[in-house]
Amino acid sequence: MTDEELLGIIGHEIGHVANKDTRDAVRSAYKREALTDAASSQSGVVNSLSESQLGAFAGALLDSKYNRKQESEADAFAYDFMKSHNYKVTALASAFNKFADMDSSSGVKKSKSEKMLSSHPDSAERAAKVLEKAKKDGLSK
């Protein structure tokens, strides 16, 4: 990656810090665990469900929606960071496209459920969103 592409990725990670994503994730995990423990102690059915694969799937689904939102917000932070410091915002899109290329060249095909449960949005889609925003802002052709 180029220096500007790395700067975009670093801006994304700074976005997670600025948005307090780690703090929120820990709070959410504690709340979910407390609710599951309380419900499980009152019902054998809830306990069986929470320990089952379906319960794990439901938990992962809840987590993935939250994490995708955080990822999108961190992407927006990185874009705004780069724009405000006069860096090429298209370098962020280029970095995401490189991630997409790495995914496709790995030869590992993800199932629909794996894609749905991924904490990160599709890299190519993220790149397209950055480029679309850059065009709207007059920063790209």
Told to judge if 13 belongs to the known catalytic residues of this protein, a careful annotator would answer: yes
Give the whole-angstrom CA distance, residue 21 versus residue 15.
9
DSSP one-letter code for 140: -
* Phi, psi at 11, each rounded to 5°: -60, -40
Tokens 């917000």 sit at which residue? 73
Residue tagged active-site, from 13, 51, 114, 125: 13
Amino acid at 48: S
Residues labelled catalytic? 13
